[in-house]
Amino acid sequence: MPTPARPVELSAQHLASIPEWTFKDNKLYRRIEFGSFPEAIGFMCQAAFTCERMDHHPEWLNVYKVVEVWLTSHDQGRVTERDVQLAQALDAQLQKSAIKAPEAAARTSPAPHN
């Protein structure tokens, strides 16, 4: 059973746990640019299972190799702990995935050996 939505005030601690996300229009927001359209769609397909398992679903948009994600709890009319948890889960999925946004890959790639 999903965790009940609890309203939260977005603290520095919450935002620090999801540094790629911003608070925009009373929602958490992230724009992810992938290397190609199939990579973007692949991420969305993988993310769909995470969202379904958490019983919390994003608003999202795909245009070519860009995925934009907005998270809010509509029943509460604001961002809740569930939104922060889903943002963390999507970030973790992106980090573990073979399909990585170029900026994520750059942050996690080891330095080249000379």
Give pLDDT tens digits for 47-74: 999 999 999 999 999 999 999 999 999 8
The answer to whether position 49 is within a domain reads yes
Amino acid at 28: L
The answer to whether position 111 is within a domain reads no
Q: Please give the Cα distance from 85 to 14 (Å, whole number).
A: 10
Consecutive H or E run containing 30:
strand 27-33
The answer to whether position 68 is within a domain reads yes
The answer to whether position 11 is within a domain reads no
Cα 106-82-4 angle, rounded to 5 deg: 165
The answer to whether position 15 is within a domain reads no
- Residue 71: strand pairing partners: 28
Q: pTM value?
A: 0.76
Band (pLDDT 50/70/90 cuts) for residue 98 is low
Q: Please give the Cα distance from 89 to 40 (Å, whole number).
A: 17
When divided into structural domains, the chain yields a total of 1
C-alpha dihedral sign at 63, 20, 23, 6: positive
pLDDT in tens, 11-55: 667 778 899 999 888 899 999 999 999 999 999 999 999 999 999
- Strand order of the sheet with strand 27-33? 22-24, 27-33, 66-71, 59-63
The answer to whether position 92 is within a domain reads yes
Instruction: Identify the pLDDT of residue 10.
Output: 64
The answer to whether position 87 is within a domain reads yes
